[in-house]
Structure 1
Amino acid sequence: MASTAAAAAASTTTTASPSSPSSAPKRDKPLHSLFAGATAGAVEAAITYPTEFVKTRAQFGGQREAPLTILRTTIKERGFTGLYAGCGALVVGNAAKAGVRFLTYDHFKSMLADEQGRVSAPRSLLAGLGAGMAEAVLAVTPSETIKTKLIDDAKQPTPQYRGLVHGTVTIVRKEGLRGIYRGLIPVMARQGANSAVRFTTYTTLKQFVQSTARPGQQLPTTITFGIGAVAGLVTVYATMPLDVIKTRMQSLGARSQYRGALHCAYRIATEEGIARFWTGTGPRLVRLVLSGGIVFTVYENVMRVIA
């Protein structure tokens, strides 16, 4: 009987979620966090990409286009596959981004956790901020820049890029590595805020649910998805202005229009109005709500399988 109880306790410890440590925490292996995060990021990007495409198109300068108008026009002119222009860059980048995000977040969180393995909201915010900054430099900025340029190019009468590889090679050849690191500062700000808000919301809600409704139990997939979706909802409204500035700084005409992120923000505010900072909120809201649910659900299920 004692051995059965011990085995059950060991099993619970092994499968404990990295996002909310149990009372007997066991730090996840870095390679497990990296693999599970990369898998979750790739799955999420492939499923939700059309919303990212519409959001990015809506945020470009010039004539304003409603999300539904962009959707209808793109499908009419280029077919359904037109909604996947630049998708390869986002899938690769999202896999790398999520892998780095979960790896660094788990590392920072384990450093900041108390004796019971619990992480307070301020410490979770700090861990998320560090994870966001790391992913911005290592993965997000290059993939987002390439994706944005490919989407911007796809709406031109005669597109110059023939796909992910050709587009990346052409951008690097013409602009150097700086060409794929354009908009680094707003990306770092956005990703730091994204991860800080999302992880803090997710971790706080999950710890609350586990401590009140399901003490000592694994949360079912439906609850994990719901908590992740709420985290995505909060993240959208908190970080939307940074996302708009990031998109403008990575567009094809950014070099001739903006001297930097602050100049870009100033021009948007004075020439187009403050409300312009929330352009594309609808598509991004759809994506991040789904993203929050998909990413955390896939991540935790992959961790349970490989841990």
Structure 2
Amino acid sequence: MASPPAMGRPLSTAEGFMCGGIAACIAVTVSNPAEVAKTRLQLQGELAKSGVEKVYKNAFDAMGKTYKNEGIRGMQRGLGPAYAYQILLNGSRLGFYEPFRRNINKFIGRRPEEQLGSTAIIAGATSGAVGASLGNPLFLIKARMQAYSPALPVGAQHHYKSSFHALSTIFRAEGLRGLVRGIDAAILRTSMGSSVQLPSYNLTKNFLVSRDILPANSAWTFLASSAVSGVCVCIVMQPADTALTRVYNQPTVVGPNGQLVGTLYKNPIDCLWKTAKAEGFRGWYKGSTAHFMRIAPHTIITLTANDLIINLYKRIRDNDSS
């Protein structure tokens, strides 16, 4: 994690990956119901002009109807692959961020520990792209499982019995190409989010600590910094997040080359263009309330828990080694 406490030796990349993965799994348990609602709202009225009857009125209506018709199981659809994805994504994003940032600083002739906005953004985007690439197959099946509703379906419906069934079904039908479908959209989404998540978190924390507003190792410092970061991430990442959901969930047909291709979008940029053309730019921000309800607590819990876990881990590790 960026700006770890100064006691003992710094965390290794593997230790940072482990702490980040645990923190993200705690967060996703809380945020997954809002993620289900967001996914369904993003698919509702896809490429349709105004006047289409809405299945879900808003984020609260989506969660309420999902619980009423599908119970807790419906609200937690895709939780299994979400755990695995978060370990890969946030383990990479939180574990690789600091090594990337320090090495970029050294490459441009600056001190590794120096906090620079430009290198922080580059490190955040790069570490996010690594995590998104590793976790793409899991995000793909998570999005499809969350979109599926036996009661109130919106968008294309993919019914999988389990994560393993989803992965095997896609692989049998499309091969490895199917499992990396939408990876360009995933990298775009996560790079945009990661480029502001950790830099905004660290800059806010440094501001609070350097001006003696809050102490460095206070949970309130972590909480306040995480809240600011969550707002920044939601604003920047929402259009790419909508494109990712739609690219992942679109139906496929056999193309002229014999390979399965999406029927609606060629790539995320094509998706954003077609969405704006059919639904206006507001279409990019469908489900933004649900997205904020997911990203705010998810970011707060992930980053706060990550710092708390790092503090605890370093105390145990350094005491054992002393």
TM-score, length basis structure 1:
0.86
Letter paired with 1:290: P
Map 1:14-93 onto structure 2 (within 5 A): 18-20=1-3, 26-62=9-45, 64=54, 65=56, 66-93=58-85
Q: CA deviation at 1:22?
A: 7.0
Q: Distance in 1 between matches of 2:267 and 2:123?
A: 28
> Are the counterparts in 2 of residues 229 and 291 from structure 1 also a CA contact under 8 Å?
no
Higher mean alpha-carbon deviation, 176-185 vs 90-99, is at: 176-185
Among 97, 102, 105, the alignment partner of 2:89 is 97
Q: Distance in 1 between matches of 2:304 and 2:138?
A: 24
Letter paired with 1:164: S
Q: Distance in 2 between matches of 1:159 and 1:27?
A: 45
Map 1:227-266 onto structure 2 (within 5 A): 227-253=225-251, 255-266=262-273
Q: Distance in 2 between matches of 1:44 and 1:24?
A: 26
Asked if 1:138 is matched to 2:137, the reply is no
Summarize the Cα distance change of 1:258–1:60 in structure 2 as closer, same or farther, 3 Å threshold.
same
> Are the counterparts in 2 of residues 44 and 295 from structure 1 also a CA contact under 8 Å?
yes
Show structure 1 runs of 5+ residues with no match.
Answer: 1-17
Summarize the Cα distance change of 1:138–1:304 in structure 2 as closer, same or farther, 3 Å threshold.
same
Number of residues of Structure 1 aligned to a counterpart in Structure 2: 288
Summarize the Cα distance change of 1:47–1:115 in structure 2 as closer, same or farther, 3 Å threshold.
same
**Larger helix share, 1 or 2:** 1
Q: CA deviation at 1:45?
A: 0.8
The aligned counterpart of 1:123 is 119
Q: Distance in 1 between matches of 2:250 and 2:270?
A: 17
The aligned counterpart of 1:278 is 285
Asked if 1:147 is matched to 2:171, the reply is no
Among 200, 218, 221, the alignment partner of 2:219 is 221
Higher mean alpha-carbon deviation, 269-278 vs 22-31, is at: 22-31
TM-score, length basis structure 2:
0.83
Q: Distance in 2 between matches of 1:214 and 1:19?
A: 20
Map 1:104-119 onto structure 2 (within 5 A): 104-113=96-105, 114-115=110-111, 117-119=113-115
The aligned counterpart of 2:198 is 199
Show structure 2 runs of 5+ residues with no match.
Answer: 46-51, 253-261, 315-322
Q: Distance in 1 between matches of 2:170 and 2:137?
A: 11
The aligned counterpart of 2:211 is 212
Q: CA deviation at 1:104?
A: 1.3
Q: CA deviation at 1:174?
A: 1.5
Residue 257 of structure 1 aligns to a residue whose secondary structure is coil
Q: Distance in 2 between matches of 1:138 and 1:271?
A: 33
The aligned counterpart of 1:6 is none
Kindly report the root-mean-square deviation, in angstroms, between the aligned alpha carbons of the 2 structures. 2.3
% same residue:
23
